[in-house]
């Protein structure tokens, strides 16, 4: 029986084959095969919704697959919960460090399997062993201190040490570096190399391509719930990798796309930009991002997940605090930075997360539309019903919002109609600049086309529009100009004929490795000796394993 369960090739520590998983009829995973060899670091990449997280959850026992098998060391396994997977040797380190912040480092490390003496926790032994274990990973900290007093990097290292302690055969890391400083990343890498030496296989999920090329051996690319590529990462060109992720063949330049945008470019009014952002900087997120928006143009903001697109929009309207930078509206600087001030100046943002940052779920369509305009629709603080009804009726008609009436609860509407309600909320303020963060995400095809043609019309009416979209086609066809972000830096500007998929993919692939906190742009080479990075930027090649992770008081 064991024989027939054995993996025919016998070279995989973990093998997922033919896995399907769907939620409420929507396929999250479709016939997914994934094989992990011992002592390899395997990158798992894909855009949002590609199915990475679902696959990880199937492997770690959070979800059970609808069909297909998961084999560990050649034996078919059916994990009913994460604990079973863990006991079998699959450890996971999540994005947010999921330990107990108020407990000591040692206690966290041994949580649930503390060394005991006479039935009580043997604290002395626990602390000794904890210090020893962490020392092996280059983390030199006082193990009796509460975990939360450590820097994030050190916390992550504790999580890693804990994961590996449990006789792990497979370690899954989900975006482990998203909150790390560059040198902490290096320490993490040296730990990963050590895991490899011990024969442990690592699944590495990250959006930072530079890291993938630095540490991974093989790569699996997912898109729309399917595996679209598996192979050696060294043999996969960066450009090819990006095009696989986004689902665009480099060579295929289509004449006409499937979006509802007019193929003609908008007539851009030259001269003074309506919005001009200078040097926006947010620690760990954005570095010196500048962009102009002219009346009547749609400026696309391109880049992969985590490049800082949403952050740029939020920094402009003051929803995200900036460390440096300024925003001018028609030449006048915005002094107070808050969404309210931006709205008064005529800059509005359609937020990406419709549910958390957009709709007021229990209020009616009428109230959701008029929310931001309430002061304008009131006299002496009393809302004028007549004015409110007029505005609401006008915009429900103009944007063709399908609701049983203005009094319907907004959360009862479809995603597309909710999005139109939010657009109406902003448009009734008669703004000068409209920042759209993923305006068509999660809405059906018909509504998507309608929203796209609305964007077109608005630009034609002279509004300045900033368009953020992960839908490459939408971005290319909707924008007159594209500003490309990577790791919080502006790395390119596409204009005119260059606004194409090839141009965008090219710019993304050729941009040099960056970190949002790198003080210098690549065009200005020089010793990287910014205050946040005193020793220069240690890149691949240096051996930071010797250097302990710097503890930081938080």
Partner 1 sequence: MTSLTWTGPALDRARVRRLLQDYGVYAALAVLFVVAVGLDTSFVQMSNIRVQLFQVAPTLLVALGMALVIGTEGIDLSVGAVIALAASVVPLYVGYGMLPALAVSLLLGAVSGAVGGAMVALARIQPIVATLSLMIGVRGLAEIVNGNSAKPVTQSGLLDLGSQSVAGIPEMAWIAGICALLTGLLVRRTTFGRQLVAIGDNRQASRLSGLPVRRVLITVYVISGVLSALAGVLIVGHGAEADPANQGLNMELNAITAVVVGGTPLSGGRVRVLGTVAGALFMQLITAVLTQHNVHTSYTQIVEAAIICFAVYASQERGTR
- Which 292-331 residues touch partner 1, going by CB under 8 A? 317, 319
Binding of partner 1 at residue 235 (CB under 8 A)?
no
Please tell me whether residue 425 binds partner 1 under the rule CB under 8 A: yes
Please report whether residue 361 would count as binding partner 1 according to CB under 8 A. yes
**Least distance from C-beta 277 to partner 1, angstroms?**
18
DSSP letter for each residue of 163-225: HHHTT-SEEEEESTTTT--HHHHHHHHHHHHHHHHTT-EEEEE-S-HHHHHHH-SEEEEEETT
User: Which residue among 97, 241, 298, 343 contacts partner 1 (CB under 8 A)?
Assistant: 343
CA distance 62 to 141: 33
Q: ∠ at Cα 32 (30, 34), nearest 5°?
A: 165
Do the beta carbons of residue 63 and residue 21 sit within 8 Å? yes
For tokens 């004929």, name the residue: 497
Among residues 8, 381, 527, 541, the one that binds partner 1 under rule CB under 8 A: 381
**In the block, residue with structure tokens 């973990």:** 14
442 binds partner 1 (CB under 8 A): no
Contact pick of 81, 411, 510, 529 for partner 1 (by CB under 8 A): 411
Based on the number of CB atoms within 10 Å of its own CB, is 546 exposed (0-12), middle (13-18) or buried (19 or more)?
A: exposed
CB nearer partner 1, residue 192 or residue 434: 434
Q: 122's torsion region: left (phi>0), alpha (psi -120 to 50) or beta?
A: beta
Which of 349, 485, 505, 507 binds partner 1 (CB under 8 A)? It is 349
Q: Between residues 2 and 382, which has the closer beta carbon with respect to partner 1?
A: 382
Q: Which is nearer to partner 1, 411 or 510 (CB)?
A: 411
DSSP single-letter state for residue 316? H
Q: Considering the rule CB under 8 A, would residue 404 count as an interface residue with partner 1?
A: no
- Quote the least distance from Cβ 310 to partner 1, whole Å: 12
**Residue with smaller CB distance to partner 1, 143 or 423:** 423
Instruction: Kindly tell me which residue out of 209, 236, 372, 507 binds partner 1, with binding defined by CB under 8 A.
Output: 372
Q: Which helix (H) or strand (E) holds 339?
A: helix 339-345
Residue 320 in tokens: 């995200």
Report if residue 420 touches partner 1, rule: CB under 8 A.
no
Count residues contacting partner 1 (CB under 8 A)? 29
Q: Which residues of 41-58 are buried (b: 16+ CB within 10 A; e: fewer)?
A: bbbbbbbebbbbbbbbbb
The answer to whether 374 contacts partner 1 (rule: CB under 8 A) is: yes
Whichever of 52 and 425 has its CB closer to partner 1, that residue is 425
Tokens of 110: 């041994």
Is residue 375 close enough to count as binding partner 1 by CB under 8 A?
yes
Question: Residues in the site for partner 1, rule: CB under 8 A?
Answer: 317, 319, 338-340, 342-344, 349, 351, 356-363, 367, 371-372, 374-375, 378, 381-383, 411, 425
């Amino acid at each position: 029986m064991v024989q027939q369960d054995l993996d025919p090739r016998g070279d995989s520590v973990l093998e997922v084959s033919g896995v399907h998983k769907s939620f409420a009829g929507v396929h999250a995973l479709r016939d997914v095969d994934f094989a992990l060899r011992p002592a390899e670091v395997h990158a798992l990449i894909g855009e949002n919704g590609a199915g990475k997280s679902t696959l990880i959850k199937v492997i770690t026992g959070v979800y059970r697959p609808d069909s297909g098998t998961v084999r560990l060391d050649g034996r078919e396994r059916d994990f009913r919960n994460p604990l079973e997977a863990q006991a079998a040797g699959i450890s996971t380190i999540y994005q947010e460090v999921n330990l107990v912040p108020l407990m000591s480092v040692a206690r966290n490390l041994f949580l649930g399997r503390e060394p005991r003496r006479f039935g009580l926790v043997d604290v002395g032994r626990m602390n000794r062993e904890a210090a020893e274990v962490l020392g092996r990973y280059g983390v030199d900290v006082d193990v009796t201190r509460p975990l939360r007093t450590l820097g994030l990097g050190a916390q992550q290292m504790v999580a890693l040490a804990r994961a590996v302690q449990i006789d792990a055969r497979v370690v899954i890391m989900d975006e482990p570096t998203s909150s790390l400083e560059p040198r902490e990343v290096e320490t993490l890498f040296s730990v990963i190399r050590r895991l490899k030496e011990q024969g442990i296989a690592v699944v590495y999920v990250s959006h930072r391509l530079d890291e993938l090329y630095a540490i991974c051996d093989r790569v699996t690319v997912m898109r729309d719930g399917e595996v679209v590529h598996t192979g050696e990462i060294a043999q996969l060109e960066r450009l090819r990798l990006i095009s696989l992720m986004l689902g665009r063949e480099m060579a295929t330049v289509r004449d006409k796309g499937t979006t509802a945008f007019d193929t003609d470019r908008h007539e851009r009014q030259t001269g003074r930009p309506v919005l001009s952002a200078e040097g926006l900087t947010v620690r760990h997120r954005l570095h010196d991002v500048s962009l102009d928006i002219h009346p009547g143009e749609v400026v696309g903001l391109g880049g992969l997940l985590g490049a800082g697109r949403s952050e740029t929009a939020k920094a402009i309207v003051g929803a995200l605090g900036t460390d440096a930078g300024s925003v001018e509206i028609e030449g006048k600087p915005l002094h107070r930075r808050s969404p309210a001030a931006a709205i008064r100046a005529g800059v509005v943002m359609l937020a990406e997360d419709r549910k958390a940052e957009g709709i007021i779920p229990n209020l009616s369509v009428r109230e959701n539309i008029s929310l931001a305009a309430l002061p304008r629709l009131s006299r002496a603080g009393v809302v004028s019903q007549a004015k409110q009804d007029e505005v609401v009726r006008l915009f429900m008609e103009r944007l063709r919002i399908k609701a049983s009436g203005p009094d319907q609860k907004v959360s009862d509407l479809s995603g597309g109609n909710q999005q139109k309600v939010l657009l109406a909320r902003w448009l009734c303020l008669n703004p000068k600049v409209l920042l759209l963060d993923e305006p068509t995400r999660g809405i059906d095809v018909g509504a998507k086309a309608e929203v796209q043609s609305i964007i077109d019309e608005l630009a034609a009416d002279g509004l300045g529009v900033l368009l953020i979209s992960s839908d490459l086609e939408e971005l290319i066809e909707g924008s007159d100009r594209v500003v490309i972000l990577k790791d919080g830096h502006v790395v390119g500007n596409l204009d005119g004929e260059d606004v194409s998929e090839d141009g965008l993919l090219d710019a993304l692939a050729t941009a040099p490795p960056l970190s949002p906190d790198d003080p210098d742009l690549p065009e200005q080479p020089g010793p990287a000796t910014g205050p946040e990075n005193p020793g220069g930027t240690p890149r691949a090649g240096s051996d930071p394993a010797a250097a302990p992770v710097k503890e930081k008081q938080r």
